[in-house]
Structure 1
């Protein structure tokens, strides 16, 4: 996926709406405040993170579970610090 192939922000905002208020707050807040400033590889990683199940995402951002993938762990850490 190249930078020109990244989905529009409106589509990403829709994908960030998960139905779990805490998760919505973190994902949409990060998207609105920090996504545009991320390097393209981290933007693609954020998009990839949105494919994970809601409960796992919530566990990651709440710090209950640590992602095994180092890149995901790094981006989740940014999300935790910047919400």
Structure 2
């Protein structure tokens, strides 16, 4: 049985660690978002965030600042919904 994000402290710690970015701006946005929302993230939202964290810092910044929209495999409803939350953070 696979543990969910919310039920596993190790998964939550891993997500926080992955959210640390090279660009300070990304780091600030992601940290503020996780501080406010981590406890309420669904597994779909964690999956969407994981997809975003797989991107380069520049690509992630472009998405968070709405300079671009997700493309290809990342063009999913849950990714768009999470980006909307990140943009408000």
Same fold (TM over 0.5): yes
Structure label with greater radius of gyration: 2
Which residue of structure 1 aligns with residue 18 of structure 2?
A: 15
User: Over residues 53-77 of structure 1, what are the superposed CA-to-partner deviations in whole Å (9 max), with x where a residue is unaligned?
Assistant: 1111000001111113132122111
Which residue of structure 1 aligns with residue 83 of structure 2?
A: 76
Alignment of 1:1-83 (within 5 A): 2-3=3-4, 7-68=10-71, 69=75, 70-81=77-88, 83=89
Q: Which consecutive residues of structure 2, in runs of 5 or more, have no partner in the other structure?
A: none
Q: TM-score, normalised by structure 1?
A: 0.80
Q: Which consecutive residues of structure 1, in runs of 5 or more, have no partner in the other structure?
A: none
Q: TM-score, normalised by structure 2?
A: 0.75
The worse-fitting range, judged by mean Cα deviation, of 67-76 and 14-23 is 67-76
User: Over residues 6-61 of structure 1, what are the superposed CA-to-partner deviations in whole Å (9 max), with x where a residue is unaligned?
Assistant: 85333222211112111001111111211220222112221222111111100000
